[in-house]
Amino acid sequence: MGGNSWTVRLSAAAEADYRQILRWTMENFGSAQVRSYADTLSSALNALSAGPAIIGVKERSDIGNNIRTLHVARNGRKGRHFVMFRIGSIEGNDVIDVLRLLHDSMDLERHLPPAEHN
């Protein structure tokens, strides 16, 4: 895999997770915290454009083939969510497919789409 800039794509499930996380944060902690946590989530997703070798990425073969996670609590930011992703390639370009954004207390394996178990 060449190139030094990766395309980060969110699945429909990951986009729904993002909206749900921010909705829950708003209901429980208010608008200032929602902006802060949106920044935290975005920061983690943006960091993945540097590729899967960044600090904090863990290979998770226990969850599924080619599955990795990155915790959003990094670089002094607080958070309780994982970015769950898979590495791929489209027309020779490196791609990170974000499958889910999940709370770190969840059973991650249970939240993969059924087709992802292999």
pLDDT in tens, 82-99: 999 999 988 888 999 999
Does residue 116 sit within a domain? Answer: no
pLDDT tens by residue, 21-77: 999 999 999 999 999 999 999 999 999 999 999 999 999 988 888 999 999 998 888
CATH number for 37: 3.30.2310.20
Token readout for 115 is 């087709």
Q: What are phi and psi of 10, to 5 degrees?
A: -95, 130
Does residue 118 sit within a domain? Answer: no
Domain span including residue 106: 7-110
Distance CA 1, CA 26 (A): 40
Number of domains observed in the structure of the chain = 1
Does residue 80 sit within a domain? Answer: yes
Does residue 50 sit within a domain? Answer: yes
Distance CA 41, CA 48 (A): 11
DSSP 8-class letter at 53: T
Name the band, by pLDDT with cuts 50, 70 and 90, for residue 107: confident
Does residue 117 sit within a domain? Answer: no
Q: Please state the pTM of the whole predicted model.
A: 0.85
Does residue 96 sit within a domain? Answer: yes
Cβ–Cβ under 8 Å, residues 21 and 34: no
Does residue 74 sit within a domain? Answer: yes
